[in-house]
Copies of this chain bind each other. A is one copy, B any other.
């Protein structure tokens, strides 16, 4: 890299019309409720959904290594909507004509350099159904590592700044709490997965 990255900076936030927006739009939904009464709902939608009908995939990479604890891989990137560096699972929008499985393999490789195999794919799930139409699939991938494997190269686009961090599964939840204390934003879906793992590991039932 030719020079050190600068801290990203928001210079203006202005109201945007749906007509001027390229990626997202607002919709008014007219609907009849369970009593037959006409009602309204306001919703935000992506304009980019492709033929898969699914906006995005997120990947939980499980790193298996002969001499290190089972770990996952999280990424840190600046997210203008929340004006902070956000801690997330590797993720991305599904390209036109791409399957969710292919998108998961591609995004993991681009954002982290790692190659893995798909272990499970969730059903279609909805990211924030009180507010948006956004949906996604959650993909668990295994990455088998050997002693002495070099750290793979990320394949980032120009202007993409993504840091990857390997975290032992048993430290993930507390690490996310620490990130938030230090001014990062933590993605709700990553947090919920970590909280589920932590709950099951720390409680007996």
Contacts and interface: CB of A to CB of B under 8 A. Distances in A.
B24 A44 contact: yes
Given A189-B189, A190-B192, A27 B14 contact: yes
Given A188-B138, A200-B197, A200-B200, A41 B81 contact: yes
Contact of A136 (B9, B29, B188): B188
- Chain A contact residues: over half helix, strand or loop, or mixed? mixed
A112 B183 CA distance: 34
A43 interface: yes
Interface residues of A, number: 97
A42 B29 contact: no
Interface in A68-93: 69-70, 78-82, 86, 88, 91
Nearest to A18: B15
A23 to B, nearest CB: 5
Contact of A11 (B31, B161, B197): B31
> Top 9 closest A-B pairs, CB basis?
A196-B196, A44-B44, A5-B34, A200-B200, A123-B180, A70-B205, A41-B80, A192-B192, A43-B81
29 contacts: A3-B35, A6-B34, A8-B32, A9-B31, A11-B30, A13-B27, A13-B28, A15-B18, A16-B42, A24-B44, A43-B81, A44-B44, A44-B132, A82-B133, A88-B129, A123-B181, A123-B191, A125-B186, A125-B187, A126-B185, A126-B187, A129-B187, A138-B188, A140-B195, A189-B192, A192-B192, A192-B193, A194-B196, A197-B200
Interface of A: 3, 5-39, 41-46, 56, 60, 69-70, 78-82, 86, 88, 91, 122-136, 138, 140, 159, 161, 169-170, 176-177, 180-181, 185-201, 205
